[in-house]
Amino acid sequence: MKKMLPEAELARDERFVRSRIEDAFLDPRGARLADRYTGPAKMAADRPAAAERSRSLMHGIFVGEIQALEGAGRTCFDFDDDEAPFQLKLDMARQCWDESRHCEISIKLGEHMGSEIGEYGESTFLYAAACNPDPVLRLTGVNRALEGLAIDVFNSMKEFGESSSDPILTFCEDWMLADEVTHVKMGSDWLRRLTEKDPERRERALEFQRTVDKIFSLGGFRGESEENPIQLARRFRELAGFTDGEVDEIAEIARQAQAEAEAMSQAAQAAG
């Protein structure tokens, strides 16, 4: 088997439909929908489309967990012993088990919420972040950016479960949140250990993380205002080892991403 499996070769059964994230954001219908302002975008139980939005998000979590599982698995395989330390691979193997459980939880939660596998499209940009040929950059992109996003998503979903009086959703999201905090800590530890004597590589890794964080904030998906569906989970990010400065930086990246999305939307409207 070859090292480094491209995103296009991810194996799926016939229920899965691959979609491109840029298609969703460049869809001209998006601007028209945004025009029909029906209230804040933040996940809330009293919104008319709350059930549909939460099902869609849960499916997104499910496919994200598959890709996180695949990414951690590939990190076990893609690097020789001299490229990635034994202990790092052990951590990634542990993450495989965690992500596998998260897939199981997400499938069952999806059924619980009334949706099914393949009901929504799958964008594979999460796995794309896990394809970096440098293990440090891969760990930073996946464990700090991707798993950091997972902290925000699970905390938002947990709060949504509380506000919609769904104890099963709240219970499961809380358990997954605990695992994600561990994964982010793992990423931060390995970033520090592997770049201790190589500040230039550390800076490259952090730059890669900023890029991935920006992608994950695309179109204002994540942020701290009422207009962001997913809220930045400051408290859990601190537990995972992010400094206040680092969380502020992610908040700023999210604000920029939202401003860019609004500008794109206005340009699309003017053109069309």
Partner 1 sequence: MSTARAPFAPWDRRELPGLFPVEDSARRVGNYKWTEMRLFEVLGGWVATVPELDVKLVLGRHTYHHAWHAELWHKRLPELREMNPDRMTVPPNDAFVTFMDAVREPEAADETIEKLVGVYRVLIPRKIAAYTYHLNGTSPITDAPTIRSLKFALQDEFEDWRDGEMLLQSLIDTPEKVERAIRRQAELENLVLASGGISGPGSLGETAARTEVENGS
Residues that bind partner 1 (CB under 8 A): 1-2, 5, 9-13, 66, 69-70, 72-78, 81, 86, 89-90, 92-94, 96-97, 99-101, 103-104, 117, 127
Judged by CB, which is closer to partner 1: 117, or 268? 117
Judged by CB, which is closer to partner 1: 72, or 250? 72
Q: Which residues are paired to 230 by β-bridges?
A: 222
Judged by CB, which is closer to partner 1: 89, or 210? 89
What whole-number distance in Å separates Cα of residue 187 and Cα of residue 129?
14
Q: How far is the CB of 22 from partner 1 (least distance, A)?
A: 23
* Element spanning 231, H or E: strand 230-231
Contacts of 235 by beta carbon, 8 Å cutoff, 6+ apart: none
Q: How far is the CB of 193 from partner 1 (least distance, A)?
A: 17
Q: How far is the CB of 190 from partner 1 (least distance, A)?
A: 15
Q: 100 is written with which tokens?
A: 């596998």
Q: How far is the CB of 135 from partner 1 (least distance, A)?
A: 13
Judged by CB, which is closer to partner 1: 41, or 146? 146
Q: How far is the CB of 184 from partner 1 (least distance, A)?
A: 19
What whole-number distance in Å separates Cα of residue 268 and Cα of residue 31?
7
Q: What is the DSSP letter of 45?
A: T
Q: How far is the CB of 19 from partner 1 (least distance, A)?
A: 18
Judged by CB, which is closer to partner 1: 42, or 74? 74
Q: How far is the CB of 88 from partner 1 (least distance, A)?
A: 11
Tell me which residue has tokens 């998006």.
30
Judged by CB, which is closer to partner 1: 41, or 72? 72
Q: How far is the CB of 16 from partner 1 (least distance, A)?
A: 9
- Using a 10 angstrom Cβ sphere, with 0-12 exposed, 13-18 middle and 19 or more buried, the burial of residue 164 is middle
- Using a 10 angstrom Cβ sphere, with 0-12 exposed, 13-18 middle and 19 or more buried, the burial of residue 271 is exposed
Judged by CB, which is closer to partner 1: 120, or 236? 120
What whole-number distance in Å separates Cα of residue 152 and Cα of residue 158?
10
User: What value does the CA radius of gyration of the chain take, rounded to a whole number of Å?
Assistant: 18
Contacts of 246 by beta carbon, 8 Å cutoff, 6+ apart: 237
What whole-number distance in Å separates Cα of residue 180 and Cα of residue 19?
26
Contact 141, 208 (CB under 8 A): yes
Judged by CB, which is closer to partner 1: 80, or 200? 80
